[in-house]
Structure 1
């Protein structure tokens, strides 16, 4: 699978990124893949390559580029209870500093980059996110309804909050099809009901599903939360969503 390490010009500098795409020279739909809070690392590159093998040009930017190139902090090969607290102590200030305004400014650059690539077809793109990336994928779709036809978020964080600009409150502006695959404790029952109600009221074509027996982070093979069945269910939901919305099914 061909891959590239890239530098993408943004309004605030240059974001390093990883891209994977099919070997043959045809054009393919673009997918903007938003990393989890742990950052751009080998497991995300492997997942991008897996997705590219199904016929997509997959772009994975380093969302923390303002602090340096990935890995911005040293990430253990395996993240378990013994090193998680120390790692997240370093990561969370960067997570909190990535405001919706900054993330959307960056999203414009990422989508423009995808549109300029000769390997990317001219149709709509998908936005896929893990952990904090789920909310960013939704925000990107709302900001660019003419470009983003599919949103998927897995073990997403921060979808339903009390903030006036909570992602779930943006549902009336959504035109993309949506799937959220939740770990068992990502949202309370009340939070899920509030998310469902917002999406229903907006007439969004969506699915919100709790993946049984999973912990937050279940798709990530380099963490103690990894669940092989959850990862497979994620592919079983993601690939049909992209296929029917991006004209690649």
Structure 2
């Protein structure tokens, strides 16, 4: 599967990124894939390559680029529970510094880069994200309603509770899938979120994946759940197939 590294011009310097795309000629629908907070690493490249194998050009940006190239913190080969607290503590200041203004400015740059690649077809794109990347995906889709046709978030926040989240959801025109971990979302909070999605008129599916903890798609962590990763593909690929035209 062809892949490359790239530098994306942003208002605050260049963002390093990874791209994967099909190995046959032609142009393909674009997908912007936001990683989790641990960033671009082998498991994210593997996810991007697998998705590219289904006919998509997949761009994975380092959204912490202001703090250096990925990985911005040194990561073990396997992120076990004993290592996670220290890593999260080091990443939390970066997460807090990644304001909504920065998210939206970067999203403009990422989409501009993605849609001008010679391998990317004209037409709408999809945005997907994992962990904090799920929130970035939703914010990006809400800010680009005419361009983003599908958005998916897995084991990630959807936005702040209350009026801010309702305003965010009200701007979504994309079809949406949200796959939540059992440890992130109770049935009661899921019901509240889904009622807000209904009130906003969003075309969506939103569900708790059984037997999961936060981070269930990431095979380099203790949270990994193979059956939940399969369910993630079973939800994601039809969503992209419905919303993106594949040349």
Please classify the TM superposition score into its range, dividing by the shorter chain length: over 0.9
Match of 1:123 in 2: 123
CA apart distance, 1:161: 2.8
Give the TM-score of the pair, scaled to structure 1: 0.96
CA apart distance, 1:169: 3.4
Match of 1:176 in 2: 174
CA apart distance, 1:163: 5.9
Match of 2:9 in 1: 9
Give the TM-score of the pair, scaled to structure 2: 0.97
Match runs of 1:177-196 below 5 Å: 177-196=175-194
Match of 2:83 in 1: 83
Match runs of 1:38-117 below 5 Å: 38-117=38-117
Match of 2:238 in 1: 240
CA apart distance, 1:212: 0.3
Distance 2:245 2:29 in 1: 8
Provide the aligned length of Structure 1 versus Structure 2. Answer: 247
Q: Is 1:160–1:194's contact at 8 Å kept on the other side of the alignment?
A: no
Match of 1:215 in 2: 213
CA apart distance, 1:100: 1.2
Match of 2:228 in 1: 230
Distance 2:24 2:79 in 1: 36
Distance 2:49 2:103 in 1: 24
Q: Is 2:38–2:71's contact at 8 Å kept on the other side of the alignment?
A: no
Distance 1:117 1:160 in 2: 30
CA apart distance, 1:247: 1.9
CA apart distance, 1:189: 2.9
Q: Is 1:124–1:246's contact at 8 Å kept on the other side of the alignment?
A: yes
Match of 1:150 in 2: 150
Q: Is 1:129–1:137's contact at 8 Å kept on the other side of the alignment?
A: yes
Distance 2:210 2:188 in 1: 18
CA apart distance, 1:164: 4.4
Q: Is 1:36–1:131's contact at 8 Å kept on the other side of the alignment?
A: yes
Distance 2:71 2:160 in 1: 29
**What RMSD in Å do the two structures reach over aligned CA positions?**
1.3
Q: Is 1:128–1:137's contact at 8 Å kept on the other side of the alignment?
A: yes
Q: In 2 relative to 1, CA 163–98 (structure 1 residues): closer, same or farther, beyond 3 Å?
A: farther
Please, which runs of 5 or more residues in structure 2 have no aligned partner? none
Distance 1:74 1:221 in 2: 18
Q: Is 1:169–1:198's contact at 8 Å kept on the other side of the alignment?
A: no
